[in-house]
Structure 1
């Protein structure tokens, strides 16, 4: 019986002590000095948390998906055709993760009548070698790496131009397909 009371008493004392500790406010470092030339230091630690991010835009701002169109007037002539519905697309890449990898996935480029056009017929070029565009191809597209402009920060703006090579004779029609570019931290 005496042991049970002792254990209860210790448990109550422990709970009361925890309550006092929980109620004790956190204090900054402080010091005290007396004398002819008193001097006291008090330190404060700081911490700034910055999340990793990548911001990537190809073409118009927002959720707009731009159309790159080629109006071919002389099929299979071997004369490249520039974009007919505008110029180069704006490309902006901002990141704080170090190297950024840009990859592309292309759907089939088809005309709806069962004919397809090779993505190899469309050549993409960048105005800035530091922010290249992955070469378009059927099947596997090799990603490109963008190196930081300062420290681990990538801050690049350029334009990407597209040209239809017009080197293959294909069936008539409007060929449509989509390329999805993805910027990621490797």
Structure 2
């Protein structure tokens, strides 16, 4: 076999190897996209279920016992409802740039996401489309956050005109409260969901 033929064969082998590497990378990327889409779907279901039950519980409490009862729901029942939907590796909670419960303080990455959410809501983007998700294919760690806009009911306890009696009640339950001064439609906070996938690369 001539030296030219050997070089040609080697070049073909190298090209084939590169093609296989590129193909394998494309397959992994495709798998990751499909997996993330499934996780997004599940995260949205969990978030919607949690939000629906929390809102219903809050409205029932307020209807029966007034806004003071609503504060107690947020402090006592909200964490229990979150636990109900945190299973099989999923963890759901809430966070905000201005927290009432200091345990919900966002980390530096979440702060950046929340700031982006605030800008998107302010620009007129519908709240239902304001979310963020990310899957790290190497670690298998998945993160999802969905914006919580300030609704009419929220304003009574989180708005700019809170009654003195209610302020005292909030202070008694949350000495480090900073979650006031919100306007209708502004970003109140976000639901956050974490999941550790077993399909890490």
Provide the TM-score with structure 2 as the length reference. Answer: 0.28
Higher helix share: 2
Greater Rg by CA: 1
